[in-house]
Amino acid sequence: MLDRKDASAGSAAQKTAHVRVHTGLKEALMNGDFLPGQRLVVRQLAEQYRTSAMPVREALRQLVSDEAMFDHPNRGVIVPEATVARISDLVRVRCSVEGTAAEWAATTITPEELDELAKLNGLMRECVESNVMASYLGLNRRFHFTMYHAARSPLIQQIIEKLWLQAGPFLNIVRSDVTYGLGLDHHDEMLAALRRADGAAARKALVADLREAADIILRAAAAAEAQPARKRPASARRDPKAQAR
């Protein structure tokens, strides 16, 4: 029989594993590493994160409660499908909330944070110029969240994170050589607005950035919805195991 010390150590290890899995899945979602409609298999994720099934189930339950995933009665936990209605609603809310954060950041951002934004945008341009895109979306996320952190509102940052968890999988639709790099000019505009403490201009550039990507995603989603149910887009037929990382 385990003594109290052993039981406490086991509980702490489970908690640590849960945090690690939950953090990893959140980052994967926000970076667009999962496909809309993809089913997540507990056993595969447990092997990937080198843990037992329990921390994975706990992390998935938490993501379902955040509406980043959906507990389907027949298929288990899946990433929500990319529907025109869902994307349109997310874009409208994101423009409002993230635009507000950008506007607030214009009056509270530090010189160090401005330098970090410039560095991240430069790294994104290097990805485009060298055609090495593996880290592009991760850099994009860091750029945006550095700016949102500069708004000095933990509450609005939490709200934005939940929105990104829901929107991240739709980034698969804009993952192509044609669409990478489209938002960099908007990033330049955001950075310039933040440097001169122009909140309205920062909001405008942020909204333009979101809407440019959203227009591409919405066109693709509308085309997919117009197809017969049995004909799914090529992106939706990728190997799900390869995406669960």
CATH of the domain at 154: 1.20.120.530
Q: Residue 39 forms beta bridges with which residues?
A: 78
Q: What is the pLDDT of residues 121-155, one digit of tens each?
A: 999 999 999 988 888 889 999 999 999 999 999 99
Q: What is the pLDDT of residues 183-225, one digit of tens each?
A: 899 999 999 999 999 999 999 999 999 999 999 999 989 998 8
Domain that holds residue 181: 84-226
**Same-domain pairing of 196 and 118:** yes
**Same-domain pairing of 62 and 89:** no
Asked whether residue 138 is domain-assigned, the answer is yes
Q: How far apart are alpha carbons 147 and 106 in whole angstroms?
A: 9
* DSSP assigned state of 77: E
User: Cβ-count burial of 54 within 10 angstroms (0-12 exposed, 13-18 middle, 19+ buried)?
Assistant: middle
**Same-domain pairing of 220 and 180:** yes
Asked whether residue 110 is domain-assigned, the answer is yes
Is residue 245 scored above 50 in pLDDT? no
**Same-domain pairing of 183 and 199:** yes
CATH of the domain at 26: 1.10.10.10
Asked whether residue 6 is domain-assigned, the answer is no
Residue 8 confidence class, pLDDT cut points 50, 70, 90? very low
**Same-domain pairing of 39 and 92:** no
**Same-domain pairing of 178 and 97:** yes
Q: How far apart are alpha carbons 131 and 134 in whole angstroms?
A: 9
User: Cβ-count burial of 134 within 10 angstroms (0-12 exposed, 13-18 middle, 19+ buried)?
Assistant: exposed
pTM of the model: 0.84
Q: Going by C-beta distance under 8 Å and a sequence separation of 6 or more, which residues neighbour residue 132?
A: none
Q: Count structural domains, the chain.
A: 2
Asked whether residue 157 is domain-assigned, the answer is yes
